[in-house]
Structure 1
Amino acid sequence: MARQTQWQLRQRFLMDLLLQVHKPLLQQELIEMGSRLNENPSDYEADSWPSLIDFMERVHQGRILRPYSIYSQLQEELPQQLLGVYRFLLLAKDWRTFQCNACYARSHFNPVLFVNALQLAISGRPDTKDLVLPAMHEVLPQLYFDKDVILDAQQVNWQQLAPIPNITLKRSWKEILGDIVYPRRFRQPLEVPVLPAEPIVIEVKPLRTLLSSDVELNGYWNSLISRLLITRNEQGTAIIDGDRMMAFRNAHDEYMYRLENGRAAKPEHPQILLHNIKQFVALCELEELTTGHKSLQLIEPTLMTTGGVRYKATKLNGLDVWLLIRQSTEELQSQIDKQLEKAVETPTMETVGQVIATNYWQLFRHLSLAINGNCTMEPNLLGMATSNLRDPIYRTMLFQLAQLIARYERPQVSAYDNQQVQQIHVGNLTTYEHLVDSDLINLMDQQLLQTQRNNLQFLQRRLVARQLRLNHKPFNITYELYASEPMVVLIRSYLIPPGRDQAGLLIESFVSELAMGKNILVRQFPMAKSVHTLRKLYEAKKPLDSSNACSFPQHLLLPRGTAEGLRLQLLVQVLAWNGSETIAECEWAGSVVDSTAPVLTSARVDVVIHHHSLKLKD
């Protein structure tokens, strides 16, 4: 047997941690690694210990969410708890310390809190950046799939997935004597039945591709909000000694200053939040054009928590909710206007993003308290980022925030006419539906799946949830641009309903160096790949490509078309680019960061999106 590489061992460790993450650890090695809280300052990054003191105190006081408790992102202390667990994992000095801390957090804290912190810490550590976490709807399927799917999966027996040797109860005296006399290698092997290769399938009903119920989108949104909560609380510890060219008060101040400077090099999280709000609203509006149904209609809360507690439905009537939302957005607008008066030299959209991001958590917390009361034992859709998009109240609030953002967006038009879009060619745009399977192995009976080891290797069949997923066929966009002089530009492309002037669904945003004269840029868009399943990651022998964590899942690049063709327009904007880098960490980072870039030229072209529906047998 080939020796496992370091990557395989580390990847396998993460997978073992996430197996049955909502249940206690049973693997003895992992239990021992997480048996004690590491309070040795030398085991953490230099000068980072002061930032962990609050977390350590909370652990000793029992103020970190425990297993089997109800997780709600709107609980008063949740942001500080999430930040504490995140730092506990992120700041571990080496891999061994990280392992022990991860096992401790896995054993002693709420599984949703642990998974959210782990997901963020993995991307921030140099020794874990090439590791891949499975899709969150496979790690905690209870938070993403309806209760009918969960209950059906829990009724599947181990014998349906793993072969059981056929043992004859009555044996002759000759057979018994043979077992004693003959060595083991001469005995007849036990007859093991061969199980069918097809997985046991639990269909997700109804089979339709609603944007708000998309499990990958809900998983991405959960990560986005977790990152926002952490950033919001980290900003409270930022210092300005370095900016004022003064001596740091202590080593911790210097450490936090460098941490903040490192973060500033990446796209600002407030601007990323604004971008995603606008993207979701644009997708919802285009979905309405396709289906003819309002995206704000109620989606029944047919979810359960990891502990089997059902979600609480909203009892407040629509008019009262609308008045609450209107009052909240008016107060937020007032705060933005006041801040704009103070920060005259700061770009408008940067200020808008900071105010919305800073007030986001309090905004939805106050809204939830007014609607659902101060009851943390009954989960609701507003309290979980994994289910936020299913809630019509939450979606209504996002629509209002998008309108508020649009009031402050005033694209600048450059006075220089040194750019011209000569022609735009768009390939055939076609969306389609296909069936995808998601591993539900985390819903198996724990005593059978885990003993003193991981028994996943004995399974011959998979247990999966099968659902429809929207996707698009490969296409390309060709830009023919004329430049009167060499220059670097930012190119944005949006899908918009005919006749609309405002930007809509951002398809792509990229930076390009143009030569003087005619330039032909060809951009290719392959169909979206499926996410890595739990089983695939367990069997992986080398690092796998992971999806871009900065943007919506790629299968939602295009809105769902229609059989006769959904008629839209592609709006192309060419903007001046003043950045120092032509390639950003996120493909659309330029669109987020450089919100004040003047538009050099723009053009639009008519497009049609067709859709091929999947014909299913009864």
Structure 2
Amino acid sequence: MKVFVLCTLLAATAAAWPSFDFGGIDGFQSDPSVSLTQRQKHVNKLLWKVYDHLKDTELKGIANSFDPESNTSQYSDRGAAARALAKELKENRLLKQHHWFSLFNPRQREEALMLFSVLMTCKSWNCFVNNAAYWREHMNEGEFVYALYTAIIHSELGEGVVLPPLYEVTPHLFTNSEVIQKAYTAKMVHTPGTFQMHFTGTKKNKEQRVAYFGEDIGMNTHHVTWHMDYPFWWKDSYGYHLDRKGELFFWVHHQLTVRFDAERLSNWLDPVDELHWDNPITEGFAPHSSYKYGGEFPSRPDNIHFQDVDGVARVRDMLIIENRIRDAIAHGYIESDDGTHIDIMNDRGIDKLGDVLEASAYTPNSHYYSALHNLAHVMLGRQGDPHGKYGMPPGVMEHFETATRDPSFFRLHKYLDNIFKEHKDSLPPYTREDLEFAGVALESIGIDGQLKTFFEDYEFDLRNAVDSAEGMEDVDINARISRLNHEPFSFVADVTNNNRGSVLATFRIYMCPRRDNNGMVFSFDEGHWMCIEMDKFWKKLSPGKNHVVRKSVDSTVTVPDVPHFQTLIDAADRGSFDMSEFTRSCGIPDRMLLPKGKRDGMEFALVIAVTDGKYDATHSNPEADEHGGSHAHCGQHGEIYPDKRPMGFPTDRRIPDRRIFEEIPNFKMEIVKVFHDDRHHH
């Protein structure tokens, strides 16, 4: 579909594209296909030292001479979006530079989306880069970065471009202030340095034991990128429909939550407790980080009671919204704004519920159901200064980049997850007919290699954290951080296909923690909700015996580390840029596929379900198609989700009778152990 749209766009562009110069990059107005290498170079330069003025002479020239309103034929909307943004600039209404930006601030979001709209209506890369260079000099840096990232992700023109890791573009949001101060000193005395970054908190705080998970920069990148791939403000008029967006919202956050609980169990902690609006927030949080401009991230002491937040919501509003949503679950339908009922007692109900709970633009009735998730983020972010008495900047919960650092993030998402669970528990359990795959039997399943986790050091570039000064060369400044990794391994399965011909099979692999913090084994019905999705893929099974080996690195849940910013710059400068495996940074980092083990081994139930691919798959030839590489949690841009079944199938509904699972030949469960190597790998 996207290809067709692109072709029609290009045809229209060619027709409407007189080749004359209008103060931008010359030479390819008539040719909308600029090489990927050239586009990558432009993006690199636009994002390097984003708080300084443009250094690159070509882009600087554009920023000084380009007029976004002069040639309206370069836009698919005849320049309406460009005129609207230019008007805000002329009337001096745009947020100034060197000021914090939060997507949850309605006005700042509106400005960022105005620029996003301009970039999305560009018919050629020429128009795109001219606007980007111009607005980078005239808009707030945070708004600019957000608009550019989301436009590269969603526009046809961004195809193939690799976005540099956000922690190297805006390092303040990912690094603590102690390290940033050392970086400034290194720059001033002109001495390269690598500084160890410690997780926030101390040994006195037991939450510290799992800080490596919430503060992992790869996990933060996954979380912020998911919200760029599936923004709550998305409207289909931007170009296409985001398929099963509400259900993906549920699934990606459910997976973060159950994964966090598994990390807690490996560190002798109980699973996280849900948040209650009328109980105190037990864990405080001191972020130890500052905005580049605008002061420190506010802290929150232990055991504070929720207060109403001026201009956002009252605590009692939050309870009312929750009750309306839980009423909808109890009734089995959502009331849309025209009064009709939307049935949710089916496979698709979770998608509608996700739209309502997050409150995206897809919600059928935001007036009545409001925006529980989005408001809760702001409520939590503001508890340090709920009445604006101290003029504090937004809290960590008000940025997707920083939210998972705060222990209250997981409490909030456990609370939302339990609302989703209430809905899933109201649906009838799967029957034998739902689960069987005629003629296919799993003989054995297991692991090739050892399930072993360890901590290693990782360094990232801090040069973008410090200001540039005329005539002062940059020095190499890096932060070093400890992060989780695991030895490579493979899932193996022996499957017999007793059908006459070959069949297409969907493999669904889960690992579910087996015992609670007291060593008690979870019952089947308790344990199913804690299953961690490890992989999902399609494979043709020939008649007879099949030995299937699936490497951990191929998982459709994970993505490789985004290359360093400098690596992207070097690669583009060498020419013929191609790094297609890194075009998506939505997905759990490869190295974090495996939850942390214990020194003597932590027990997990390895569950493999083989289901009928002919029924499940929505695309033809799913075996050869990677669907963007991390489709399990992140879908595929502009395409329908590759799997028809509910996300989490078959572990997403209650399992009152475990025999159904045990007696089906296409399902198998084994107990495996994950070990943790205490030695730190350097």
The verdict on a shared fold, with TM-score over 0.5 as the criterion, is yes
Q: Determine which of 29, 42, 47 is the counterpart of 1:13.
A: 42
- State the secondary structure of the residue aligned to 2:334: helix
Q: Determine which of 72, 79, 86 is the counterpart of 1:42.
A: 72
The equivalent of 1:424 in structure 2 is 445
**Larger CA deviation: 37-46 vs 315-324:** 315-324
Q: Is the 8 A contact 1:492 1:508 kept in 2?
A: yes
Shift of 1:85: 1.8
- CA separation in 1, counterparts of 2:673 and 2:648? 30
**Larger CA deviation: 355-364 vs 391-400:** 355-364
Identical positions, percent: 18
- State the secondary structure of the residue aligned to 1:490: strand
What is the Cα-based RMSD across aligned positions, in Å? 3.3
Q: Determine which of 602, 609, 615 is the counterpart of 2:674.
A: 609
Indicate how the Cα distance of structure 1 residues 95 and 449 shifts in structure 2: closer, same or farther if over 3 A, else same.
farther
The equivalent of 1:252 in structure 2 is none
Is residue 595 from structure 1 mapped to residue 646 from structure 2 by the alignment? yes
Indicate how the Cα distance of structure 1 residues 367 and 338 shifts in structure 2: closer, same or farther if over 3 A, else same.
farther
Indicate how the Cα distance of structure 1 residues 97 and 138 shifts in structure 2: closer, same or farther if over 3 A, else same.
same
- CA separation in 1, counterparts of 2:384 and 2:464? 33
The equivalent of 1:233 in structure 2 is 233
Shift of 1:487: 3.6
The 5-angstrom pairing of residues 98-497 of structure 1 reads 98-157=128-187, 160=190, 200-206=193-199, 210-229=212-231, 232-235=232-235, 256=237, 260=239, 262-264=240-242, 267-293=243-269, 297-307=283-293, 309-314=295-300, 317-320=303-306, 329-334=322-327, 338-339=333-334, 342-344=341-343, 347-358=348-359, 359=371, 360-365=373-378, 368=381, 372-373=385-386, 375=388, 377-409=392-424, 410=427, 412-415=430-433, 416=436, 418=438, 419-427=440-448, 428-448=450-470, 462-485=476-499, 486-497=502-513
1:333 maps to amino acid: R
The equivalent of 2:578 in structure 1 is 543
Indicate how the Cα distance of structure 1 residues 72 and 315 shifts in structure 2: closer, same or farther if over 3 A, else same.
farther
Q: Per chain length, whose mean CA-contact separation is higher, i.e. which structure has more relative contact order (CA < 8 Å, sep 6+)?
A: 1
Indicate how the Cα distance of structure 1 residues 60 and 516 shifts in structure 2: closer, same or farther if over 3 A, else same.
farther
Indicate how the Cα distance of structure 1 residues 406 and 434 shifts in structure 2: closer, same or farther if over 3 A, else same.
same
The equivalent of 1:82 in structure 2 is 112
- CA separation in 2, counterparts of 1:278 and 1:129? 29
- State the secondary structure of the residue aligned to 1:233: coil
- CA separation in 1, counterparts of 2:678 and 2:601? 13
Q: Is the 8 A contact 1:217 1:553 kept in 2?
A: yes
- CA separation in 1, counterparts of 2:92 and 2:496? 64
The equivalent of 2:605 in structure 1 is 569
**Larger CA deviation: 6-15 vs 351-360:** 6-15
Q: Is the 8 A contact 2:174 2:402 kept in 1?
A: yes
When Rg is computed on C-alpha atoms for both structures, the one with the higher figure is 1
Q: Is the 8 A contact 2:497 2:545 kept in 1?
A: yes
Give CA deviations for 1:367-426 in whole Å, capped at 9, x if unaligned.
Answer: 556774254652311212111112233321111111222222356334155133221121
Q: Is the 8 A contact 2:113 2:147 kept in 1?
A: yes
Give CA deviations for 1:48-91 in whole Å, capped at 9, x if unaligned.
Answer: 64555654544444444331222122212233333222222232
**Larger CA deviation: 415-424 vs 276-285:** 415-424
1:307 maps to amino acid: Y
- CA separation in 1, counterparts of 2:355 and 2:675? 39
- CA separation in 2, counterparts of 1:61 and 1:413? 63
Q: Is the 8 A contact 1:66 1:110 kept in 2?
A: yes
**Larger CA deviation: 375-384 vs 95-104:** 375-384
- CA separation in 2, counterparts of 1:597 and 1:146? 36
Shift of 1:305: 0.6
TM-score, normalized by length of structure 1? 0.79
- State the secondary structure of the residue aligned to 1:422: strand
Q: Is the 8 A contact 2:225 2:586 kept in 1?
A: no
Indicate how the Cα distance of structure 1 residues 326 and 315 shifts in structure 2: closer, same or farther if over 3 A, else same.
farther
Indicate how the Cα distance of structure 1 residues 464 and 140 shifts in structure 2: closer, same or farther if over 3 A, else same.
same
Q: Is the 8 A contact 2:96 2:139 kept in 1?
A: yes
TM-score, normalized by length of structure 2? 0.72
- CA separation in 2, counterparts of 1:116 and 1:289? 36
- CA separation in 1, counterparts of 2:172 and 2:327? 39
Give CA deviations for 1:63-121 in whole Å, capped at 9, x if unaligned.
Answer: 44331222122212233333222222232222222122111221122222211221121
Q: Is the 8 A contact 1:304 1:310 kept in 2?
A: yes
Q: Which runs of 5+ in 1 are unaligned?
A: 162-198, 239-255
Shift of 1:591: 7.8
How many residue pairs get matched? 542
